[in-house]
Amino acid sequence: MERVNPATGEALESMESDGETGIEDALATSEEAFESWRDVPLGEREELLANAADVLRENSEEYAEVMTEEMGKPIAAARSEVEKCAWVCEYYAEHASEHLQDERIGTEPGVDSFVSYEPLGPILAVMPWNFPFWQVFRFAAPHLTSGNVGLLKHASNVPGCAEAIEEVFHEAGYPDGVFQTLLVGSDAVDDIIEDDRLKAVTLTGSEPAGRAVAETAGAQIKKTVLELGGSDPFVVLDDADVEAAAATGARARTINSGQSCIAAKRFIVVEDVYDEFVEAFVEEMNALTVGDPRDDVDLGPQAREDLLADLHDQVERSVEAGATVELGGEPLDRDGFFYPPTVLTDVPRDAAVATEEVFGPVAPIFEVAGEAEAIALTNDTDLGLGGSVWTEGRERGKRVAREIESGAVFVNELTKSDPRLPFGGIGDSGYGRELGEMGIHEFVNRKTVWVQDAEMPEDEPAGE
């Protein structure tokens, strides 16, 4: 696998891919590992997960550096990502027993009836490059602990991160085969999904990739969870704290150099506070620093040269359609794949930055007459991952949040994932949930068990 440092454009040492033999060996190993791993007491699995949290923290700098080198994440953000991975490990190490305990359901006198949560087997995780550790750990922490085993097909530009993650589980004491990394291209995914030994698949990535995985898995009647793209609204109502909204909005648009599914991507502002918000927001965006991700900067490079080109093409097409550039708008003239914080106003509703997911630090701002138009524009998308609403009215915030069609809405806060809360989208943003109690239940058999005395009454009805 060829790698490029996005901060310099220079090639990194390539890494050898796994061929067909490697894939076969991994599948065979995962099937064998599952037969013993599923019988390991849950308490022991929780202890191993707590060990993984310790390994992450002990090697935080090493793991942060490989993220920064491979995909350009600012080093401070990379350290924070490692810490968040440790957090999700600790969460499930503490709560997995609670989430997976038998759920007793009363039916008849003398009958013990309950739902048992039991693992499925080997699960394939197809993961993206933008949060190369976090995306994997939010899959692995719950689903390995529930008794499944994992196979990771990571993005091709972060193979070093993929191997480092496998090392975490090895160092934590997990048995061989419980978590394996496959260094393969996307062309190998269909064959892996179609293999009878694989029982389910989860993907975080683009809408086309999600459709392809769902089609293949559906033909095999295999469970899938998809977390796809987003075009999250950031709604500023007429009673909002504009200064706070502008400050948080700039951060919400530029986290991970703007390369986040749940970044704020469409700023929808009521006309009464529009001018005030634009002025404050441009000032906040302009104050952000862009540079070498190894330094103390707010934004690093875009992860690949082609992604930089795609981003700038969206800006150029939007400007041609009538948008006004208030800030930025051109790639930086330096080595690497750097794009500055960019703000666009007067954006036509059918412009590229209005209708396509924008994966970079570009913020289109839309002026609306009032709350009703804000909600209508918010929901004028096939994507439904997250959203943010800004208002001084707590009850108003709750009401508007209920009217936004997405998997999550945050009031007076940026959209974020949290190990304690379910995370996922609707529409073309995918289906299923990760994290929290709902997340750990995605890849288990919710088995109904009915236990009564051996002698069954003669007049007991049977059948469906």
| pLDDT of 460 strictly over 80 | no
How much is the mean pLDDT over the chain? 97
Distance separating the N- and C-terminal Cα atoms of the chain: 54
Residue 455's pLDDT band (cuts 50, 70, 90): confident
Q: Dump the DSSP string for 149-161.
A: EEEEE--TT-HHH
CA distance 198 to 125: 11
Rounded-to-integer distance, Cα 342 and Cα 326, Å: 7
Residue 137 tokens, joined: 């750990």
Burial class (CB in 10 A: 0-12, 13-18, 19+), 59: middle
Q: Do the Cβ atoms of 129 and 306 come closer than 8 Å?
A: no
- % of the chain at pLDDT higher than 90: 97
What domains, with CATH codes, occur in the chain?
3-228+429-449 (3.40.605.10), 232-411 (3.40.309.10)
Give the single-character DSSP code of 429.
T
For 279-328, the pLDDT digits (tens) are 999 999 999 999 999 999 999 999 999 999 999 999 999 999 999 999 99
Distance CA 223, CA 214 (A): 9
Q: pLDDT at position 463, please? A: 60
What is residue 84's predicted lDDT score, i.e. its pLDDT?
Answer: 98
232 close to 387: Cβ distance less than 8 angstroms: yes
Q: What is the pLDDT of residues 182-204, one digit of tens each?
A: 999 999 999 999 999 999 999 99
Q: Is the pLDDT of residue 458 over 70?
A: no
Tokens (6 digits) for 282 = 């441009």
Residue 352 pLDDT > 70? yes
Would the pTM of this model clear 0.85, i.e. be above it?
A: yes
Q: Where is 365: in which H helix or E strand? A: strand 362-368
Work out the pLDDT band at 70, boundaries 50, 70, 90.
Answer: very high
| Catalytic annotation, residues | 227, 261
415-431 average pLDDT score: 98
The full DSSP string for 127-139 is --SSSTTHHHHHH
What pLDDT sits at residue 30?
98
